[in-house]
């Protein structure tokens, strides 16, 4: 009886441990530092479902010193449920920072490989073309009159 209780305790402990481990989704887009904070005007632009704002580093254009633009640029969007989401603009098939998806909400499409990604719900999932993985996602949170994206 005592051995059965100990085995049950160990089994429950191991099951709880395996559920608590976060699974990381591998991406063909390399890890690059990301930090974007929208201003009140951009926050207002993102206030309605199916809206989007793109951030791409452009040499010579002044940006806050702490901004980091990911690998191919950052897309911040509000999906159809009204939730704020963010992802990298680099196509995971091409995996180059200069080949970015073109966003026409609620889709993003790569002009080179033809992959199309649905931005309507949770993740930017591929719906057509050769892509097998979603656009690389970043953490996005709303604050007073701004949205902060980071990794």
What does the DSSP 8-state code read for residue 150? Answer: E
Query: Residue ranges per domain, the chain?
Result: 2-150
State the average pLDDT over residues 99-111: 97
pLDDT tens column, 12-49: 444 444 444 434 457 899 999 999 999 999 999 999 99
CA dihedral 64, 65, 66, 70 (to 10 degrees): 90
- Paired tokens of 45: 């632009």
Count of other CB atoms within 10 angstroms of residue 28: 14
Helix (H, G, I), strand (E, B) or coil at 2: helix
For residue 4, the model assigns a pLDDT of 53
Nearest Cα neighbor of 83 from 121, 111, 33, 52 is: 121
pLDDT-wise least confident of 7-16, 26-35, 107-116: 7-16
pLDDT over 70 (residue 10): no
pLDDT at 102: 97
Euclidean distance between CA atoms 122 and 68, whole angstroms: 23
- Specify the pTM: 0.81
DSSP strand pairing (74-78 vs 125-128): unpaired
pLDDT beyond 70 at 3: no
- Determine the pLDDT at residue 129: 97
In tens, the pLDDT along 39-98 reads 999 999 999 999 999 999 999 999 899 999 999 999 999 999 999 999 999 999 999 999
The reply to whether CATH 2.102.10.10 applies to domain 2-150 is yes
């Amino acid at each position: 009886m005592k051995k059965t209780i100990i085995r049950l305790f160990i089994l429950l402990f191991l099951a709880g441990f395996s559920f608590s481990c976060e699974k990381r989704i591998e991406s063909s887009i390399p890890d690059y530092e990301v930090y974007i904070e929208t201003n009140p005007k951009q926050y207002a632009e993102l206030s309605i479902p199916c809206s989007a704002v793109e951030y791409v580093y452009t040499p010579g254009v002044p940006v806050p010193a702490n901004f980091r633009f990911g690998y191919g640029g950052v897309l911040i969007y509000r999906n159809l449920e009204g939730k704020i989401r963010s992802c990298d603009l680099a196509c995971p098939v091409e995996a180059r920072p200069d080949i970015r998806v073109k966003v026409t909400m609620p889709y993003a499409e790569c002009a080179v490989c033809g992959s199309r990604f649905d931005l309507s719900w949770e993740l930017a999932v591929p719906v057509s073309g050769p892509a097998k993985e979603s656009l690389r996602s970043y953490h996005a949170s709303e604050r007073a009159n701004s949205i902060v994206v980071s990794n």
